[in-house]
Structure 1
Amino acid sequence: MSEAADNTLRLALERIKELGNLSEEKGRLTRTLLSPASREVASRLMAWMEEIKMQVSHNAMGTVRGVLPGTQPRALPLLIGSHFDTAVGAGKYDGVLGIVVGLAALERLAADGIVLPVPVHLLGFADQEGVRFHTTYLGSRGVCGDFDEATYALRDDTNTTLSTFLALAGWTEDSTDIEYAPGSARGFLEVHIEQGRVLEEAGQPAGLVTAICGQSRVVGSVRGRAEHAATTPMELRHDALTGAAECLLAIEKMARENPPLLASVGKMQIDPGTSNSVPGVASFTLDLRHPEDAVRAEFLEKLRARCSAIVTQRGLKLEWRVVLDHDGVSCDVELGRRLAGALTTATGAVPRLASGAGHDAVIMAQVAPIAMLFVRCRGGLSHHPDEFVAEKDVGAAIEVVFRFLKSFLVGG
């Protein structure tokens, strides 16, 4: 490792640790939209950006940006970014890693005296996890002009609307609009921990994301008849829970047999829910994900049909309500080619994988082509204090982004 690479890695690790100590709760890491801890992180990010002569700004929501004009300042900019808010009781790498790695790669360029022809914008989004207003991507949606009246009418747990919150608690002093229209940027790169174990199983420090899976969410209810458990013979029962259980096993079986389909039942409610009653209603949630929207839609219908057949055979009824249907996003081929080249040089391999989780890149795809780099995290653990990325893997990520940026010196 060169001296410049060693210095930027050391500084990046120090910064991740430093930001990991900024929390609004004692004893665990929690940073929500515009909390004092969140604003402190934003201020430090801008200070670090200024150290390499970036032109810095923030908007009223607290999203920050640093701009390097490049030798062709009117050319479409390349965007790099991620979020710096956290889940409740989170780890210190989710989100922040992407911003710090992007900054470290730009510092490597500066140390080598390299000025890119294209402008580079480094973004730190103030809200992605959606803890305060119970919705995701507020930071990236804000810079893409994706807010409507319904968004501003969102309420937090104190019954305060987003519009009122921003008016009273927003970071208005010295703020400026940070907005991107469709087609106004050359591309968007996000670096993020994998939040899974694919790279760990493959023994690779980083991988190329091919797509961010679309997702469907369903609320299903199996309805039978609630009866006394001590007086109703087994052959006469219409047990909603056992019918639902068979549905859930069928859902799991279909997902296991059709990778990369992901199907998860994360919540279940039983009525009447007493130990001496035959369940009359068993309701469950279904989270279905796949990188191809048409395939996801096909499996969603297959699962509905299979569950319907199961409950009908048992003399039960099925209610199936789709409450969310979000299309997936494919990563850009050309940006992926550059990122794959950087991966090959830096790590010797190009693992390719789809992201089951959503990321800010989903929203940024509205305005620019996207690319994503996943970084190995121990055990795939995320949103947890034990979330961990090895020092050498942080270094590999910086090296990949550094080489990705240098690719714009050739051919623009």
Structure 2
Amino acid sequence: MVSVPSPGGARAMARCDVLGVAPFSDLPDALYRGYLTPAHRAAVDQVGSWMVEAGMTVALDPAANLVGRYSGTIDDAPALVIGSHLDSVRDGGCYDGPLGVMLGIECVAALHAQGRHLPFPIEIYGFGDEEGSRFPAAMLTSRAVAGTLEADLLAIHDADDISFTTALRLFNADYASVCNGRAFEVSDRSQLGVTSFHQARRPAGSTLAYLEAHIEQGPVLEAEGLAVGTVTGIAAQLRYRVEVRGTAGHAGTTSMPLRRDALAGAAEMLLAVEAIARADASDLVATVGAIEALPGAANVIPGRVHFTLDVRAGDAARRDAAAEAMLDRFHTIADTRGLDFAIERVHDLPASPCDAALMDLLDAATLAAGQPVRRLVSGAGHDAMVMAALCPTAMLFLRCEGGISHNPAEQVAPADAEVALAVMLGFIERLGAAYGG
């Protein structure tokens, strides 16, 4: 039996800590919980049990999302969905994703303890895949729920060449083998398969709103001494894969004027990216997060380089203008150095504004919790941006120490989690009143 503190924000955090180690991690000495792995299966089982304790009925949907439902007083009323993700990056932190799920469970637990139900049902989603840390596509499961999934699931394989089809089948079989006798039973496990994956889509009109609490993953709230902030929207994102081609040659015999050094050209391109992003003097950010030089020998001039380019801004037009300026500079640098290059756009996500009325409810709940109101843009992507295609969305950010995330050093103050819980409960109360309850 897992031992955790009494109900509230502290318990939500303690449960995230529990999920940070085996069997809820696929690595022995660090946190990694990939979608459809044994650690994911164990987390679904454990979190589902916590949902039952909070008064919910629990099921897996056809995309292996964990869903807890707390009934409302009006038959067939659309549900308030509260959610975030259960998967993690490799060597990640405990709170990125799961804290939003645990705080949602605490909201229901608080209502259940008082014997209260809202006019609408509340459904807590533990999305299986947001990070894309196992398969080369992110937010697969929330996209299935929102009905926007276009990826060819049959073509997807992980780094170990395990197909998505096989992973889903193994998860189904393994989960079935441990489910009997647990605190909840999953119906229709045979429906977990690629052919039925899209059936995770929520029916039209079944969702009133979506609320997600998440650590900020940035330094703004900490710098301003604030526990929480209302998210105005999620930045537009562009991602490219770039290849620079020169001529490989002997490092000791090819004179400098005769070189077509792909790495030197790529280095100049990277500095141009930084210069253009800095000059914009806005919320625009640009990142080269991965680079590979080939053939990769100490005594060979690099003849080929691959790197990624990620450009984000709250405004899509500003993002696009900056990206175009960067690509123009790449052309100029390549021409000057006698290099060839190719660019592939691999990711294009529009800005996703949060709903104005829901933001006002969050602000009012924040003030009622004794906290000043702060609105800010999210530079990181979240399931909320996908769910916006389904229903109005709102996001609440929690302060995280040093703005650190995707890192074992990720930290949240228990007092901030208590504030976030109070704000979420206040939001639910106000949404219930606005709905007619």
Q: Residues of 1 paired with 2:300 and 2:47: CA distance?
A: 58
Deviation, 1:55, is 2.4
Cα distance, 1:410–1:286 mapped onto 2, change above 3 Å = same
- Corresponding position: 1:175 with 2:187: yes
CA deviations over 1:373-407 (Å, ceiling 9, x no partner): 11111122222222111111111111110111111
Which range moves more in the overlay, 371-380 or 180-189?
180-189
Q: Distance in 1 between matches of 2:244 and 2:155?
A: 34
Counterpart of 2:401 (choices 360, 378, 398) is: 378
Structure 1 range deviating more: 78-87 or 143-152: 143-152
TM-score of the aligned structures, taking structure 1 as reference length: 0.89
Q: Structure 2: which 5+ runs fail to align?
A: 177-184, 189-198
Deviation at 1:64, TM superposition (A): 1.6
Give SS of 2:369's match: helix
Assess if the C-alpha contact under 8 Å between 1:129 and 1:137 holds in 2. Answer: yes
Give the letter aligned to residue 82 of structure 2.
Answer: I
SS in 2 for 1:41: helix
Change (3 A) 1:337 1:168: same
- Whether the 8 Å contact between 1:73 and 1:119 is mirrored in structure 2 is no
Q: Which residue of 356, 360, 371 maps to 1:337?
A: 360
In 2, the alpha carbon distance for the partners of 1:6 and 1:273 equals 55
Residue 328 of structure 1 and its aligned partner are, at CA, apart by 2.6
The answer on whether the counterparts of 1:116 and 1:408 sit within 8 Å (CA) in structure 2 is no
**Counterpart Cα distance in 2 of 1:96 and 1:361:** 14
Q: Could you tell me whether the CA contact under 8 Å between 1:222 and 1:316 is conserved in 2? A: yes
The 8 Å contact of residues 130 and 137 in structure 1, kept in 2 or not, is answered as yes
Correspondence 1:220 to 2:222: no
Aligned amino acid, residue 66 of structure 2: V
Alignment of 1:90-101 (within 5 A): 90-101=92-103
Q: Which amino acid is 1:195 matched to?
A: Q
Alignment check: 8 A CA contact 1:59 1:175 kept: no
- Which of the numbers 67, 72, 77 marks the counterpart of 1:75? 77
Provide Cα deviations, 1:20-54, integer angstroms capped at 9, x if missing partner.
33323322222223334323322232222223332
TM-score by length of 2: 0.84
Q: Select between 271-280 and 393-402 the one with higher mean Cα deviation.
A: 271-280
Give SS of 2:203's match. coil
C-alpha distance in 1, partners of 2:414/2:355? 29
Q: Which residue of 2 aligns with 1:322?
A: 345
Within the alignment, does 1:24 sit opposite 2:26 as a pair? yes
- 2:61 is aligned to 59
Matches of 2:20 and 2:262 in 1, distance apart? Answer: 46
Question: Given the alignment, which residue of 203, 206, 211 partners 1:184?
Answer: 206
User: Measured at CA, do residues 192 and 279 of structure 1 come closer, stay the same or move farther in structure 2, by a change above 3 Å?
Assistant: same
Q: Measure how far apart 1:185 and its partner are.
A: 0.9
Match of 1:13 in 2: 13
Cα deviation, 1:193-241, whole Å, max 9, x if unaligned, reads 1122222222211111112122222223444455555555545554443
* Aligned residue number for residue 109 of structure 2: 107
Name the CA shift for 1:305/1:347 in 2 (closer, same or farther; >3 Å): farther
What is aligned with 1:123?
Answer: 125
- The unaligned stretches of length 5 or more in structure 1 are none
Asked whether 1:411 is paired with 2:434, we answer yes
Partner of 1:38: 40
Instruction: Confirm or deny: 8 A CA contact 2:55 2:112 kept in the other structure.
Output: no
SS of residue matched to 1:384: coil
Q: Does the 8 Å contact 2:239/2:311 carry over to 1? A: yes
Shift of 1:63: 1.7
Match of 1:304 among 300, 324, 327: 327
Give the match's secondary structure for 1:408.
helix
Cα 1:155/1:175, change in 2 over 3 Å: farther
Looking at structure 2, the residues matched to 123 and 400 of structure 1 have their Cα atoms a distance apart, in angstroms, of 19
Q: Which amino acid aligns with 1:138?
A: L
RMSD between superposed Cα atoms in Å:
2.7
Residue 238 and residue 371 in structure 1: after superposition, are their counterparts in 2 closer, same or farther (change >3 A)?
A: same
Q: Which amino acid aligns with 2:90?
A: V
Structure 2 residue 271 is matched with structure 1 residue 249: yes
Check the 8 A contact 1:60/1:166 in 2, yes or no: no
Residue 93 of structure 1 deviates from its aligned partner by: 0.9
Where do residues 254-265 of structure 1 align in structure 2 (5 Å cutoff)? 254-258=276-280, 259-265=282-288
Q: Secondary structure at the match of 2:124?
A: strand
Which secondary structure state, in structure 2, belongs to the residue aligned with residue 410 of structure 1?
helix
Deviation at 1:348, TM superposition (A): 2.4
User: What secondary structure sits across from 2:357 in the alignment?
Assistant: helix
Tell me the residue number matched to 1:49: 51
Contact 2:313 2:319 in 1 (8 A): yes
Change (3 A) 1:133 1:409: closer
SS at match of 1:165: helix
Measure the CA separation in 2 of the matches of 1:282 and 1:10.
47
Q: How big is the shift at 1:292?
A: 2.2
Q: 1:263: how far off?
A: 0.6
